[in-house]
Amino acid sequence: MNGLLVACILTPMVTAALSFIVTNTAKVRGAISIGGSILLLALSTILLYQVVNGGPVSNQMGGWQAPMGITLIADMLSAMLIVVTAIVALSVNVYAMGDISEDRIAGGFFTFLNMLIGGVVGAFLTGDLFNLYVWFEVMLISSFALLVLGGNKVQLDGAVKYVAINLISTVLLLTAIGLLYGLTGTLNMADLSIRVPEVENQALVAVVAVLFLVAFGIKAAVFPLYFWLPASYHTLPISVTAVFAALMTKVGIYALMRTFTLIFPGEHSVIDMTLLGLGLVTMVLGVFGAMTHNDIRRILAFHVIGSIGFMLLGLGLGSALAMGAAIFYMVHGILIKALLFMIAGVIGKLGASFELARLGGLYQERPGFAMLFLLAALSLIGIPPLSGFWAKLLIIEAGLHHDATEVIIFVVLVSLLTFIPLIRIWSEAFWKPKPFSTEEAKADTSDSKAIGPPVMPPNWYAWTPVLGLSIIMFLIGFLPSKIIAMSDTAAQSLINPSAYLDTVLPDRAAAQANLNEVQQ
């Protein structure tokens, strides 16, 4: 039994409860939330260390052995993602102290934020499909609360679209889980990997696999089911948008990775081609969508969609090399999206708008900040030696290994096109002269202002996470070998899940050991 797994889930949940119970001031609630995220980062780092040195660790809740009980398990993939989640949680908690109004904090902002983080961590650690559904619902409820908290008409409109499409995903996911349970009599993912190939009606298994693909594809904002994302993300406070953009879609990608390597590996011939095609279309539509907008938040929201396409390419190619590339890209994508949205928030505070036409002169006013944005943008494009370069280089390497010329062409083309909307932000917000005074910008009553930046300049609450994430991205770019090695290990465990199965089902491991002795 490994108490770290339980502690990683309980920490954000207890933090959520404490930040709700304590009603003194917004600063006290924020301090509790920041403290909880620091503890989560420490626990997740210890967990990653254990996994790196000893392999997967599991916890059978209540002493009930799998597949009868509730299983928590951390392998390299889930341990890496929990550490990255903790980094984002800490960054967003600090940023929120200077971004979220006191009435929203009093309404439970930090409570719902930590519930969301707890749901993400639970999804990464769960070892059975029903509890994966439960954690998705925890994320949906808490994210809806964050969407409507203190909201105006535009924000509520985005929340309705977000919840409507995610409820469809929920129905599909429950249907798929019910059908799979009827076919196998189990929902433990390790047990399913053994029982699914034994099901006689493989045609129905294929149908169930497609239902999972659609349900998780909606969560991941995969084409053509991505429209809820750009319709809602620009309506939110930057702190909420940053955590949504960094984590929500990545949990969907994680679920696809786990499901189609552990439970439905036999469906690769059809599913892989589907994922590959969806990845190509999603990344192209993401970058073209970004080129059509003038609101920085909308531009970055479409880049979130485009990055999902890159991850699907690695999953669609199906090899350990390609999967490792997708995992590295996921780590990069989580951190860079959180950073870019926080930078967008600082731009909004300095210029009192998110519309490019209303911005300008930021390079003259804040040259150091301009360089931070430029480095983050170049990393997203994939300029060497920044982290985005290594992420895309690994995908291109996988494409070469599979003789997938179309993958290489699309990766290079989309990377070049990504330059266009980001250089527009640079030229319009930073390089061109300021079009009108800050006071006039603050008096703007457009839709962007109504839901956008506060009039006060950014303080250290905003600068600290921006600088911290910039340093992390810089280090990943210049020292990528450790992250690449862990991504490759995680990919190998996905392709060959024997260590995962032996950890969850120790009786299987003992039986296999006895069989090996007999054969010898």
- The pair phi, psi for residue 71, each rounded to 5°, is -105, 130
pLDDT tens figures, 368-409: 999 999 999 999 998 988 998 999 999 999 999 888 888 899
Q: Span 118-124, mean pLDDT?
A: 96
Q: What is the pLDDT of residue 117?
A: 97
Q: Who wins on pLDDT, 1 or 372?
A: 372
Which of the residue ranges 119-128, 224-233, 319-328 would you say has the lowest mean pLDDT?
224-233
**Sign of the C-alpha dihedral, residues 214, 215, 219, 220?**
negative
72: β partners? 59, 126
Alpha-carbon torsion, ordered 410, 412, 414, 420, to 10 deg: -160
> How does the average pLDDT of the chain come out, rounded?
87
Angle in degrees, 0-180, between the axes of helices 153-184 and 202-219, rounded to the nearest 10: 160
Where does 196-317 have alpha helices with state H?
202-219, 228-232, 238-243, 249-258, 268-291, 296-317
pLDDT per position as a tens digit, 203-241: 899 899 999 999 999 888 888 777 777 777 777 889 999
Q: Is 402 helix (H, G, I), strand (E, B) or coil?
A: coil
pLDDT at 151: 65
Residues, the chain: 520
* b/e per residue 33-51 (b: at least 16 CB within 10 A): bbbbbebbbebbeebbebb
**By the 8 A CB rule, do 324 and 461 touch?**
no
Residue 100, pLDDT above cutoff 70: yes
pLDDT computed for residue 445 by the predictor: 37
Residue 514 pLDDT greater than 50, yes or no: no
φ, ψ dihedrals at 451, nearest 5°? -115, 5
Contact status, residue 73 vs residue 127, Cβ threshold 8 Å = yes
- Percent of the chain at pLDDT > 90 equals 53
Count of beta carbons in the 10 Å neighbourhood of residue 365: 14
Is residue 94 classed exposed, middle or buried when 0-12, 13-18 and 19+ CB atoms within 10 A define those classes?
buried
pLDDT at res. 406: 87
Whether 58 contacts 126, CB under 8 Å: no
Q: What is the pTM of this model?
A: 0.91
Instruction: Taking the CA atoms of 72, 78, 79 and 83 in sequence, report the sign of the dihedral they define.
Output: negative
pLDDT in tens, 41-67: 999 999 999 999 999 999 988 777 777
Determine the pLDDT at residue 222: 87
At 199, list the tokens: 């099901």
HEC sequence for 295-339:
EHHHHHHHHHHHHHHHHHHHHHHCCHHHHHHHHHHHHHHHHHHHH
pLDDT of residue 402: 87
Distance in angstroms (rounded) separating the CA atoms of residues 192 and 437: 62
Confirm if 429 and 359 have CB atoms less than 8 A apart: yes
pLDDT value for 436: 59
- Closest by CA position to 89, among listed 151, 136, 44: 44
Enumerate the domain spans of the chain.
3-519
